[in-house]
Amino acid sequence: MAVKVYGKPQAVCPQRVMHCLVEKGVPFEFVLVDIDAMEHKRPEYMEKHPFGQVPFIADGDFELFESRAIVRYFASKYADRGPNLLGRTAEERAKVEQWLDVEAITYSPCAFSIVFNLFLLPIRGLPGNKGEAVASMEKLDKILEVYEKQLARTKYLAGDEFTLADLTHIPVTRYLVEHCGLAYLLDDKPHAKAWWEDVSSRPAWKKLMSFVASGASFYAP
């Protein structure tokens, strides 16, 4: 039975999950949840995800929500397929977890504030809070200075192999670069810029972007 991923394909968190599945060569069915129509807040969906967010996955009888928990689950279940996304030793796994926490607690909230105000609200004809966006941009620039120092030491955030620590950053960073015009924040950070060019050029990510653009419901490697 194919994995089912529930959500909106353009949304950051479902993309995080789908990218992990594509990296691992796992087929899946995408089930649209129209968040613009507030389907994620309907009782039948909230029985699956009690906080009314996306994504939610069903893997046979096993159900799970929260995108970072989901990618950890698939990276572990399919450890023998595709790239090793969790680290190979206790020390490597700890580094992966460290940067997953940084992404979830420090990077993404700041990045989402920018995307929300500069892209998501305007495309709906609503005014964004420019002051909030500018403050978040200044904060993000400082965060990226820390990333630059790390990436001067290692090719990827948690070491010299691509892992979940990198994967979880990609969807929201794409929105920053492609839809918010913030690629320039990397111009004075050569190691962070090289990292972004590397991770955003991964074949699995390109396959996912093609899948999303196609509007298809089923992905098969």
pLDDT in tens, the chain (221 residues): 789 999 999 999 999 999 999 999 999 999 999 998 999 999 999 999 999 999 999 999 999 999 999 999 999 999 999 999 999 999 999 999 999 999 999 999 999 999 999 999 999 999 999 999 999 999 999 999 999 999 999 999 999 999 999 999 999 999 999 999 999 999 999 999 999 999 999 999 999 999 999 999 999 99
Distances from the Cα of 73 to the Cαs of 25, 27, 49, 60, 77, in angstroms? 15, 15, 17, 14, 6
Predicted structure pTM score: 0.96
Q: 3-state DSSP: the chain helix, strand, coil percent, rounded to 5?
A: 60, 10, 30
